Every structure is written in structure tokens, then in C-alpha cells.
Structure 1
Amino acid sequence: MSNSVGLLVTLEAKPEKSGELADFLQSARNLVVAEPDTSTWYAFQISADRFGIYDTFPGEDGRRAHLAGSVARALGTKAGELLATPPVIQPVAVLASK
């Protein structure tokens, strides 16, 4: 499956909420597994309070479905509790992959 589009999302945890945000991201993997058009999904920690998600899709339909899916809804319900700022969601074009 060739992936042509992706998302790069950065998240900043509220003070003292980094552990909870990390736990949330780890548990979100189970939600993403059920998405047939999410080809790859990575959750990562950048620094003590900054996190990210990078995922890829074969096309725009998969990316839109993911943005309207379970992880987005779950994050929306937890954002006020866990995040210091709104998520920064950047659509990307995949130029090459291995």
C-alpha cells in the first residue's frame, strides 16, 4: 500500500500531566488498529511536556476518516484536562518512504 498523505500532530501537556498524556497516547494505539486506512501511526515524546503523532494514509479519504475517528474524538474529550495548548495538526504530503 502506497501512502501519499499524512498528519503531523504536536501536543503540549499541561504541567504535571505529561505522564497522563503519554498513557493516553499509548492506549490510543488500540483505537487506531481498527482504522483500515491508517497505514502507519506513531506516538512519540519530544521533550518532557511535548509529544507528537505521525501517521500516514493511502489517500485523502483515509486521512479525513482518521481526523473524524475514535482517536480524534477521545483526544477532544481529554484535551481540556491534559493539554496546555490546542493540538497543532499539520497535513503533510509523503514524498518518500521505506
Structure 2
Amino acid sequence: MIKHAFFVRLEAKPGKEQAVADFLAAGLEMTNRETTTPIWFALKLSPTTFGVFDAFASEEDREAHLHGSMAGALMAHADEMLASPPSIEPIDVLAMKNQVP
């Protein structure tokens, strides 16, 4: 059961909006290799603001994601792409529907 999640807000530097969008699109491959990250979304919230929502079955899985390839790649490129450090908010999942037609 999914109970733990992160919401990460990313603000692109001027002129780096496409770089952030491309990085997040490429992140799907990295997160697909993380067996403890079953739910992952890359989001565009505004022309310069992006986000990631990911969810996990346990606190241990959530913590493991912070040390995974996607998080490492993000932090390695943060200074070049982002106007400020990522805002990483741990959140609790109260209820969930996951039904794809």
C-alpha cells in the first residue's frame, strides 16, 4: 500500500526551462530502474516551474529514492538549471486511486 510520497518543486533559471523539461522527461528511465519507486510523475506547473510527485510503500523506500540515480542526477545539475535549490517536501498519502482504462 502506498503511504509515503515526495513533492519536489523546481524553478528553472531564465533560459533553462527546456533543459529542465528535457531532464525530467529523461528521468523516467532512471526512475524505472528504481524498484522501490512505483509511482513517479514529472510535472510542468507553469512556464518556469516544474515538479515531481513520487510515492512509495514505506519510509525506507522513500529514503532510498533520495539516494537513487534520479536524485543524484538532479543535484548534480541543479546549479546549472535551477534558480534555487529544489524544494523537497515529504508528504503522507491518505488515499489513492490508480486505475488506468
TM bin (shorter chain): over 0.9
State the Cα RMSD in Å: 0.5
Count of aligned pairs between the two proteins: 97
Equivalent residue for 2:40? 41
Equivalent residue for 1:23? 22
Equivalent residue for 2:91? 92
SS of the residue corresponding to residue 84 of structure 1 reads coil
Residue 39 of structure 1 deviates from its aligned partner by 1.3
Equivalent residue for 1:75? 74
Equivalent residue for 2:58? 59
CA distance in 2, matches of 1:23, 1:41: 16
Equivalent residue for 1:4? 3
Q: TM-score, normalization: structure 2?
A: 0.95
CA distance in 2, matches of 1:54, 1:82: 19
Aligned partner letter, 2:28: R
SS of the residue corresponding to residue 70 of structure 2 reads helix
Residue 33 of structure 1 deviates from its aligned partner by 0.3
Q: Which runs of 5+ in 1 are unaligned?
A: none
Q: TM-score, normalization: structure 1?
A: 0.97
Residue 76 of structure 1 deviates from its aligned partner by 0.9
SS of the residue corresponding to residue 53 of structure 1 reads strand
CA distance in 2, matches of 1:70, 1:88: 18
1:35-62 Cα distance to aligned partner (Å, 9 max, x none): 1111100000000100000000000111
CA distance in 1, matches of 2:61, 2:17: 29
CA distance in 1, matches of 2:7, 2:20: 17
CA distance in 1, matches of 2:11, 2:81: 8
CA distance in 1, matches of 2:36, 2:67: 13
SS of the residue corresponding to residue 29 of structure 2 reads helix
Of all paired residues, the percent bearing the same amino acid is 43
